[in-house]
Structure 1
Amino acid sequence: MSVARVTEISSTSSVSFEDAVEKGVNRASKTLRNVVSAWIKEQRVGVENGQIQHYQVNLMVTFLLED
């Protein structure tokens, strides 16, 4: 039997939503062991003078707890 925990993180990128997701998962994996999945809870953009300045995602990251 496996037991998992879900935690929410926020990640930004000046490139794209996809890049923000990749950065978020990579960073979470450095701190959390046994990351098995992530899903996008929210996404938004930061706008300044009518131009997108950054892409932000809120991710729900799932990781398995060790016995």
Structure 2
Amino acid sequence: MTEHVYKLVELVGTSGTSVSDAIQNAITRVTTTVRNVKWFEVVQVRGEVKDGKVGHYQVTLKIGFTLDDDA
């Protein structure tokens, strides 16, 4: 069994539609520049209130990815 070492980065995904879309937007973007993304953790959910309604969602995520093997 291969042992892994993970690195974490923290991101904030945003969406005008939903929390799920904000999460997906962050994951879609990070996977364009970071290899081996394996998991995420939602750290915080917040948003903007506009005219008495939710105007925008912001979701802070920790993204975990494995480091490349030196082999």
Q: Please give the range of the TM-score, normalised by the shorter of the 2 chains.
A: over 0.9
CA distance in 1, matches of 2:15, 2:42: 15
Structure 2 equivalent of residue 48 of structure 1: 50
In our comparison, the structure showing a higher alpha carbon Rg is 2
Higher helix share: 1
Aligned length: 67
1:63 aligned partner: 65
Tell me the TM-score normalised to structure 2 length. Answer: 0.89
How far 1:2 sits from its partner (Å)?
A: 1.0
- Aligned residues: CA RMSD: 0.8
> What is the TM-score of this pair, normalised by structure 1?
0.94
Stretches of structure 1 that go unaligned for 5 or more consecutive residues are none
Q: Which runs of 4+ in 1 moved over 6 A?
A: none
Structure 2 spans left out of the alignment, 5+ residues: none
Give the Å deviation of 1:15. Answer: 0.3
Q: How does 1:24-39 map to 2 (within 5 A)?
A: 24-39=26-41
- Aligned AA (2:58): Q
Tell me the distance in 1 between the aligned counterparts of 2:12 and 2:47: 13
